[in-house]
Each structure stands twice: as structure tokens, then as C-alpha cells.
């Protein structure tokens, strides 16, 4: 099997080299815990698809030095379009049986990949989210970010009859069968609610696993702001009642 790791990047010169190293270093050997293949291990080949979304801080120049690695596909947007647009571009070039979204900062740890992939290889679900609120070790988050996340996740649960704990997590993993049914259009912060809404409306149940989280400060490059919450809320409502 092959895993496509999709990395949208915007002005991450301070972290891009390290996250690429970590993604390439993680071992993609996933144990099977039950079923006919109980006790076996599923090995994944790796494809890394990086989309630079119009960076201006030297990230683009660094990424060009990686050209030629056989496991990497590097693409460039000439202008900043938003995370959703970068993920959509990455999906066009992804060849994997399973796809995983990885932010380019160091908030999320690629060593979580085997745990995120296990429910898929065991045929428990075709969609897995890594939750920061299901008991994994975390660096303390901003209170208002946590409150906003909990509120928007609650809205998701009410509108779509589910019990997610972390709708806005970066770690979203899904099979090719799932992504082939999606019609994603959001360019910016509407991406997370859009993909979640479309997945749930198509009848897929999302499996959550606990992950670690090392949130960064605004002076370290954190980009999300309170205004983005309104985009998320409107997207959730729109896909529930308009489609």
C-alpha cells in the first residue's frame, strides 16, 4: 500500500526542513491487531506531496533544493490562496491508497502515523482524525482557541449527528475511495469544516485516535485568528442545509 502525505506550506522557513526530515524518518509499519490478519504488519510506501502556497520568506527556495528526491512531489502556487487550495492541489498529484494531511509547522508529530493508519488497515473505518482532546499528551493551548474549537466541534456534532471531539485537527486521514467522492471548493480556513461535512453527509463515520500536540505561539508563526471561526461556522451551516 502507499501513503500520500499532503503538506500545505506557507512561510514556514523555520520549520520546513525539520518537518520534511520527520515525515521521511517515520517507519510506516502498521500492526494489525485483530481479524484474519491478526499479528501481521502492513507496510506502506511513502509519497510526500508538498504545495508551497506563495511563500515569501525563503521557503520556496529551500523546497527547490529538494527537487529530485524520488519520494517527493513539490508544487508551487504563484500567489497565496489558502490551505484548502493547497490541499486540493496536493490531492491532484497524490497517488496513494491512503492520504494524510500534515501541517508544515511542528505542532503535530509524524510518529503518530502508525496509530492513525491502524483503524484503516484493520477495516474499522475509511476516515480517521487525530484528536487533541482524547487524552494524548499536549502542550497547553490558548484558552480561547480551545473554547472556539470546542464550540465549532459541538456545532458539527449537532448538525451532522456525530460525536467528534476535534473537528479542526490537522490530522485527517482518508482512503482514495473517500476522496474520490468529495467536491472540495474552500480555499482558506473553510477547508476543515468543508471536508468534514462532506465526509459525514456521504455516510462515513469518522474514527478518532488520541494524538500528542505541541501548539506554538503567535510569535512562532501561528496563523489562525478568531475571525476564522466565522468562516468555519458558516461553512458547517451551508453544507448541512444547502449542500
Question: Of 41-55, 72-86, 220-234, which range is least confident?
Answer: 220-234
Cell numbers at 120, concatenated: 484503516
- CA 95 to CA 166: how far, in whole Å? 27
Mean pLDDT of the chain: 91
Cell numbers at 142, concatenated: 490558548
**pLDDT single digits (tens) 98-150:** 999 999 999 999 999 999 999 999 999 999 999 999 887 676 666 767 788 89
Cell numbers at 135, concatenated: 487524552
Domain 2-241 in CATH 3.30.300.20:
no
Domain boundaries, the chain: 2-241
Q: Of the candidates 164, 180, 185, 175, which has an alpha carbon nearest to the alpha carbon of residue 88?
A: 185
Contacts of 53 (CB under 8 A, 6+ apart): 8, 9, 10, 77, 80, 81, 82, 83, 85, 86
Phi, psi of 105 (to 5 degrees): -85, -170
Q: Is the pLDDT of residue 40 over 80?
A: yes
pLDDT of the residue at 38: 79
Would you say the pTM of this structure is higher than 0.85?
yes
pLDDT of the residue at 48: 98
Amino acid at each position: 500500500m502507499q501513503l500520500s502525505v499532503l503538506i500545505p506550506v506557507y512561510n514556514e522557513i523555520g520549520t520546513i526542513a525539520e518537518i520534511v526530515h520527520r515525515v521521511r524518518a517515520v517507519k510506516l509499519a502498521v500492526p494489525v491487531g485483530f481479524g484474519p490478519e491478526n499479528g501481521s504488519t502492513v507496510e506502506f510506501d511513502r509519497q510526500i506531496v508538498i504545495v508551497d502556497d506563495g511563500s515569501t520568506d525563503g521557503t520556496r527556495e529551500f523546497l527547490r533544493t529538494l527537487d529530485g528526491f524520488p519520494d517527493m512531489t513539490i508544487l508551487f502556487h504563484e500567489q497565496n490562496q489558502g490551505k484548502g487550495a493547497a490541499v486540493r492541489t496536493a490531492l491532484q498529484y497524490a497517488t496513494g491508497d491512503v492520504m494524510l494531511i500534515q501541517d508544515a509547522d511542528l505542532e503535530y508529530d509524524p510518529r503518530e502515523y502508525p496509530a492513525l493508519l491502524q483503524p484503516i488497515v484493520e477495516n474499522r473505518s475509511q476516515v480517521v482524525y487525530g484528536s487533541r482532546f482524547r487524552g494524548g499528551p499536549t502542550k497547553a493551548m490558548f484558552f480561547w482557541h480551545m473554547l472556539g474549537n470546542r464550540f465549532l466541534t459541538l456545532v458539527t456534532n449537532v448538525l451532522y449527528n456525530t460525536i467528534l471531539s476535534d473537528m479542526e485537527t490537522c490530522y485527517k486521514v482518508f482512503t482514495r475511495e473517500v476522496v474520490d467522492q468529495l467536491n472540495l471548493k474552500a480555499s482558506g480556513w473553510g477547508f476543515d469544516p468543508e471536508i468534514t461535512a462532506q465526509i459525514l453527509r456521504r455516510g462515513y463515520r469518522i474514527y478518532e485516535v488520541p494524538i500528542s500536540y505541541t501548539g506554538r505561539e503567535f510569535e512562532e508563526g501561528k496563523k489562525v485568528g478568531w475571525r476564522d471561526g466565522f468562516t468555519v461556522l458558516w461553512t458547517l451551516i451551508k453544507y448541512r442545509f444547502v449542500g
